[in-house]
Amino acid sequence: MTKPVPDPPETKTPLEEALRAEEQARNREAIKRALDFYLCPEPAKPRRPSTMFMVCPQVDTESLLAHACESLASASTAASNFANELTGSQRSTALGIQQIVMLAELAVNRALDRVDPQA
């Protein structure tokens, strides 16, 4: 059955209109934030290393390599001495660590030779 008279249009109070406008504004802000997040990411901030244990930037490469070589030699000796106190798989592990340190020491020595050839 059809109704001869149409329903009257809905009338909203000013309060309802204000609430609806506020909700639309919040939705627009949320949409803008989401689009900005995915489409306009902030550029990555450059990494700033910690200055707690910082090597002086003015130190020359030869000095750095010489110090690294001495440190690796000390670590190799310490690992070797420690391995002598162990037995079994623990001893093998300590000797493996000592060998890795020794190989690093050889690499640093080669780099040091290239920086300052002793010819």
Domain count, the chain: 2
Rounded to a whole number of angstroms, the distance between the first and last alpha carbons of the chain is 111
Which segment of 14-18, 25-29, 61-65, 114-118 scores lowest on mean pLDDT? 114-118
Question: The domain containing residue 103 runs over which residues?
Answer: 61-115
Q: How far apart are CA 67 and CA 61, in angstroms?
A: 10
* Residue 83 falls inside a structural domain: yes
Q: Give the pLDDT confidence score for residue 8 in this predicted structure.
A: 67
Mean per-residue pLDDT of the chain: 86
**Over 90: is that where the pLDDT of 104 sits?**
yes
* Residue 24 falls inside a structural domain: yes
Say which amino acid occupies 72: L
pTM: 0.53
pLDDT digits (tens, 9 = 90+) for 67-83: 999 999 999 999 999 99
* Residue 94 falls inside a structural domain: yes
User: Do residues 76 and 111 both lie within one domain?
Assistant: yes
